Amino acid sequence: MVDTTGSAVPPPKKDYGRAGRNLPLAIASAVVLLAAAGLTLFIWKTAFIALVVVVLVAGIWELRRGLLAKDVDLPEQPLMLGGALMMVVAYVWGADALVTATAVTGLTIMLWLLHRGVDGYVRTATASVFALIYLPFLGSFVALMLREGGTWSETGIDAGVKGIIAFVLVTIASDIGGYVAGVLFGKHPMAPVISPKKSWEGFAGSAVATILVGMALVVWMLNGHWYIGAALGAIAVVMAVLGDLVESVIKRDLGVKDMSQIIPGHGGIMDRLDSLLATIAPIWLLLHYAVF
């Protein structure tokens, strides 16, 4: 298309309405991702851990790509390798080993950055430790959850697998409940400067959905008390919303709409991980001490 002066005119962006995205494509992508996660989780837990590692590595790649806009160059190699080792260590030896592996990885990253010289060292090291906690450390709680089911080689519908299912479903319930309520009833912005489309009506929809789903999962799948399920839902909705807002702040600071376009209809890996990363640690704590 050209204008009257002969200059090329970019095609207008397609309007997806209040949904803000290509909904059929987003649903199709979500189904494919959930199918891949479900197959590995039920067939071979080692493959599921490997899949999570791949996702976290992609998230590190995206975060580095975004931070380059602020002239911050994350050291990909130690972050990716250290993050993968943290996931394995967490599954094999548990929470204490994860803390140790995180500390060692953080120190390794700071030593790694010495070869870049003095200029920008504090800024890059700070961003690297932030990335280490935000992605590999929080993500490794998935391994701690799966560890509830037994050793590395076991499979089946054990406590760890059920915990992963509960964690994923309540987070999805928060997303869907908030999305539907926000599209249908959203009028009062929750944080207009950070995320203009997020509304208090959407938050109410998320809360109702997660509490109901949390109660159902804990009572019928985990054989726990209904009030633990309600607590699970309440924790999930608060942390999922906070996780989404944190990622929105990061993107606004970096001046990007999406971290990448690696997932059709959704954007980047980080655009899907934000709520999951924020909810996994408190959900593991609750289930570990109150249910398992």
Distance CA 88, CA 177 (A): 33
Q: Is residue 236 over pLDDT 60?
A: yes
Alpha-carbon distances of 235 from 70, 214, 284, rounded to whole Å? 33, 10, 11
pLDDT of residue 150: 56
- Which of the four pLDDT bands, split at 50, 70 and 90, describes residue 6? low
Distance CA 173, CA 205 (A): 9
Distance CA 247, CA 194 (A): 10
From the number of C-beta atoms within 10 Å of its C-beta (0-12, 13-18, 19+), residue 46 rates as: middle
**pLDDT > 90: what percent of the chain?**
55
Q: Do residues 257 and 248 lie in contact, with contact meaning Cβ atoms separated by under 8 Å?
A: no
The residue ranges of every structural domain in the chain are: 45-152, 155-292
pLDDT of residue 16: 46
Q: Is residue 3 over pLDDT 70?
A: no
- Which of the four pLDDT bands, split at 50, 70 and 90, describes residue 269? confident
Query: Model confidence over 37-51: pLDDT tens digits?
Result: 777 887 888 889 999
- Within 10 angstroms of residue 216's Cβ, the number of other Cβ atoms is 17
- Within 10 angstroms of residue 196's Cβ, the number of other Cβ atoms is 11
106-129: average pLDDT: 95
Closest of 165, 174, 164, 169 to residue 210, by C-alpha? 174
Q: Which residues are within 8 A (CB) of 48 and not within 5 positions of it... i.e. 6 or more apart?
A: 37, 40, 41, 146, 164
Distance CA 38, CA 236 (A): 21
Q: Do residues 181 and 237 lie in contact, with contact meaning Cβ atoms separated by under 8 Å?
A: no
Q: Is residue 240 over pLDDT 70?
A: yes
Q: Is residue 222 over pLDDT 50?
A: yes
pLDDT of residue 198: 82
pLDDT of residue 18: 47
Closest of 183, 177, 174, 193 to residue 241, by C-alpha? 174
**pLDDT > 70: what percent of the chain?**
82
Distance CA 60, CA 114 (A): 20
pLDDT of residue 13: 47
Distance CA 170, CA 172 (A): 5
- Within 10 angstroms of residue 40's Cβ, the number of other Cβ atoms is 17
Choose the most confident range, by mean pLDDT, from 8-12, 150-154, 277-281: 277-281
